[in-house]
Chains A and B, each alone.
Chain A
Amino acid sequence: MNWIDIGHIEDVPVRGARLLKTPVGCIAVFRTAEAEVFAASNTCPHKHGPLVEGIVHGQKVTCPLHNWVFDLNTGEAQGADDGRIDTYPVRLDGDRILIDGNAVGQRSAA
């Protein structure tokens, strides 16, 4: 793992998300609770809706374009819809949000 600091927890609203630009594409960083974050592809496999703009509920997000719902733990589409988004290792270190640089195509900073 190659943990990279991408921001302060308060930069992401509770039950909200922020965009992260990476070499592997745009990733949405979700904050599902006071101290709970997830990272997943920003792009809905259905019609490429920006998941960062979706409504976050439980550990899920709903795509703003056509209401596909994804479980942020697995990336799997819920219900009748069939599809998956990539998820990325992300964790909190105190107030800082860290993402695994290797997983998002980031070379080691060293």
Chain B
Amino acid sequence: MTKQKLVIIGAGMASGRVIEHLVETAPEAYDITLFNAEPRGNYNRIMLSPVLSGEKTYEEIVTHNGAFYAEHNVTCRFGERVVKIDRDLKVVEGENGHVPYDKLIFGTGSDPFMIPLPGHDLDGVIAYRDLEDTERMMALGPDNTCVVIGGGLLGLEAAAGMAARGVDVTVVHIMGHLMERQLDEAAGYLLKKSLEGKGIKIKLQANSKEILGEDGKVKALLLDDGTELPCDLLVMAVGIRPSVALAKEAGLAVGRGIHVDDQMMTSDENVFAVGECVEHDGALFGLVAPLYDQAKVLAQTLLGESAAFTPKVLSTKLKVTGCDLFSAGDFADGEGREDIVFRDPSRGVYKRLVIEGEKLIGAVMYGDTADGNWFFDKIKSGESIEEMRETLIFGPAYQGGATVDPLSAVAALPRDAEICGCNGICKGTIVDAIAGGATDLGAVRTTTKASGSCGTCTGLVEQLLQVTLGDTFQMPTAQPVCGCTDLSHEDVRRLIKSQELKSQPAVWQELGWTTPNGCHVCRPAVNFYLLADWPLEYQDDPQSRFVNERKHANIQKDGTFSVVPRMWGGITNPNELRAIADAADKYNVPTVKVTGGQRIDLLGVKSEDLPHIWADLNKAGLVSGHAYSKGLRTVKTCVGTDHCRFGTQDSTGLGIKLEKILWGSWTPHKVKLGVSGCPRNCAEATCKDIGVICVDSGYQIGIAGAAGMDVKETELLCQVPTEDECIDVIVAVTQAYRENAKYLDRIYKWVGKVGLDWVKETVVEDIENRRALVERFELSQSVYRKDPWAEHAREKAPSYAPLADLTPLAAE
């Protein structure tokens, strides 16, 4: 059999792949002639962006060089345009002569779409399509400015590439968020943020009006709001159109692209088309994966094999270093569709899965795309995800068991998975350190710094030790919370945040509690973690609280209660004292005691009397002192500048302010404050959880004191000049404690674990973070800064009395 003549028009990625298939499987089948208008052969066009940014050279992205064509007897007609096709004579007419064909392939690709703005034909207005365009951009440097119209994949790669060369780049995008075809709003937001971090300016919802020029050369882009963006180069990357002119002239069926069937055959049985120039079943193609599929089908068709092209779900990755995004499938909102969303704002991670029925149909990820291909497989296979629905978003590491097994999850993590967020330590680094002889937590900390800061990853590090060392490693400190779970407090806190668990049943279910609803050990802890992490979403559960916090009074050994009204900063007045005296008389309070926290304790009140004594005290303006809570207890003060000869600041006033801000907040354990007006320290501030010593130049804030089972002096956190800053630091440190500490760790224990340096970094040095902590505290206080006594006296009084009393009947 003699060789048939195959002519290919266009040396793009698709046609290049066709050639490869043909010469590999049947080198004797065809004599190939390859036309290309560009004066070069096949190169990997999608790798132009790395060339632009300087990460690769053009030579590295050439797929077929002269040697390849020579070896496979491909006749190259590069830099030569095809003028006309005569289908009756089966001849292609090039600028330099005719070539007859038996089979013809259109691989003409696409043309960049140029918006016909006034000035679009000025010098310096280019598309981003080929090596010439890329070279124009590469010629720019730090002294140049450039405007890119189009915030899609190509436009952003162009912008990032030029920004990497120091060019001052502005991206103008008409839509409300970047890459709207591949990303949803949230991922678009994160992408914008990280591109802006690379110095790229981004204008959204911006309509271009006119391109301004000078001496025939581009000068600026004018927006319809009047903004003028100066530029030396203007890149239009707003889309592509299949290049169909030649096919149309040849009389082939053409819509938006060249019509092809499943075998890539056009309306002429001897003419085929492949790549971006085709329209298949109404669809156009711009990404490389379906192009390669088409190429394979076409090669098989040409060799007489039966093959059919079926479009598949596509996935996208952006080739911009440092912007890790992935999208696949369909992620538009719709009826019957369900979203699973995971966000970790501190790491800039966003993941969203779209589920329809039992199938995963779309995925958008930003910041952490390690599991992208796994999700993509699930989308492509269309398999039921029902079994793993609850843990699906955590990726393959969490699958394969009924409940979360932290060990297997850790074992499945890739080496570059970040374990310690504070110090940016990856799994690989830790595993290497362990292999290098760091065989316990302390050694890993010393060697790698992992878990040496905030400590929330301690559980993960220990799991890594166990996974790596096996039985030789004894889990030392990762004590489970209780018998209901194997997870430690740190694990539970981390998982509540990362899995966005917002109810106790969610925690029990998702974290595999072995009991139906916990026990007296875990329930109060989980209840606290949930209300601390989700103040608005989670409703405090009284039934998960120890009796004192449920009844807002301290139970005594005989089953009666003590009642301690709040005295702000230890200040009271005759009215309050009278009300307390009256209440003590009325309810036959056997013992009235002055406490160490500068207030008065009424001991021996019966349960059923509680709502009534509270109502009476409320009338005098007295509210709960929370003497029973894991929360703010008291702020002890001295009289400061009001009366004292030595006072340097208004310590009483500051104490009252602090108490009014902090009261009602729940904390991992009780919190007691002291404010002393001078270093003589009459308020004993240096053994409190948080203590302030006023000095002439400001306020010394100490934390982590103790005067209970342990006695310990506070450590100096910082000195600040103003009262406002003092309050902010104290609120921030309280919130950091609320968010990070293990339940029932006092501040000094917590600081012992995370280190004073970490607290300093978090609340003293990082002003932005301090502000965020204060904001989150205030958000929580919008719910909890209220008097529970008033609420209970008003709404829950009957619950303090017996359900029923059967004794009088019996006495009849």
Contact = CB atoms under 8 A, between A and B. Distances in A.
Contact of A106 (B558, B607, B810): B810
Contacts of A107: 809-810
Contact of A19 (B518, B557, B803): B803
A43 B802 CA distance: 15
A65 B555 CA distance: 8
A7 interface: yes
B604 to A, nearest CB: 15
B542 interface: yes
A18 B802 contact: yes
Nearest to A18: B803
Contact of A58 (B515, B550, B799, B804): B515
Interface in B539-554: 542-547, 550-551
A57 interface: yes
Contacts of A50: 555, 559
A6 B523 contact: no
Contacts of B524: 55
A13 to B, nearest CB: 6
A7 B805 CA distance: 11
Interface residues of B, number: 32
Interface in A1-26: 4, 6-7, 11-16, 18-23, 26
A53 B555 contact: yes
B555 A20 contact: no
A13 B551 CA distance: 13
Given A18-B803, A21-B805, A64 B543 contact: no
B810 A64 contact: no
Given A13-B542, A47-B557, A21 B520 contact: no
A22 B810 CA distance: 8
Interface string A76-110: 00000000000000000000010001001111000
Contact of B517 (A53, A57, A69, A104): A57
A75 interface: no
B543 A62 contact: no
Contacts of A55: 519-520, 523-524, 543-546
Interface string B507-530: 000000001111110011000000
B811 to A, nearest CB: 8
B70 interface: no
B37 to A, nearest CB: 75
A21 B807 contact: yes
B806 interface: yes
Contacts of A22: 806-807, 810
Most chain A CB within 10 A, of B517, B542, B551, B803, is at: B803
Contacts of A40: none
Nearest to A56: B543
A20 B804 contact: yes
Contact of A53 (B518, B547, B810): B547
A89 B460 CA distance: 49
A86 to B, nearest CB: 15
A67 interface: yes
A36 B550 CA distance: 22
B547 A21 contact: no
A53 B800 CA distance: 11
B540 to A, nearest CB: 13
B805 A16 contact: no
Contact of B520 (A4, A23, A69): A69
A12 B803 contact: yes
Given A47-B557, A53-B547, A20 B806 contact: yes
A60 B607 CA distance: 23
A23 B668 CA distance: 42
B523 A57 contact: yes
A60 B483 CA distance: 14
Nearest to A43: B559
B547 A23 contact: no
Given A54-B520, A55-B520, A55-B523, A23 B807 contact: yes
- Top 10 nearest A-B pairs (CB, nearest first) are A62-B520, A18-B803, A53-B547, A55-B520, A23-B810, A15-B543, A64-B547, A21-B805, A19-B802, A6-B804
29 contacts: A14-B543, A15-B517, A16-B542, A18-B802, A18-B803, A20-B802, A20-B804, A22-B807, A23-B806, A23-B810, A47-B557, A48-B558, A53-B550, A53-B551, A54-B547, A55-B519, A55-B524, A55-B543, A55-B546, A57-B523, A64-B546, A67-B520, A69-B520, A101-B806, A104-B806, A105-B810, A106-B806, A106-B810, A107-B810
Interface of A: 4, 6-7, 11-16, 18-23, 26, 29, 47-50, 53-58, 60, 62, 64-65, 67, 69, 97, 101, 104-107
Interface of B: 515-520, 523-524, 542-547, 550-551, 555, 557-559, 607, 798-799, 802-807, 809-811
Given A22-B806, A26-B802, 20 more contacts: A6-B806, A7-B803, A11-B798, A13-B799, A15-B544, A16-B543, A19-B802, A20-B803, A22-B807, A23-B806, A49-B559, A53-B559, A54-B547, A55-B523, A55-B546, A64-B547, A65-B557, A69-B519, A97-B803, A105-B810
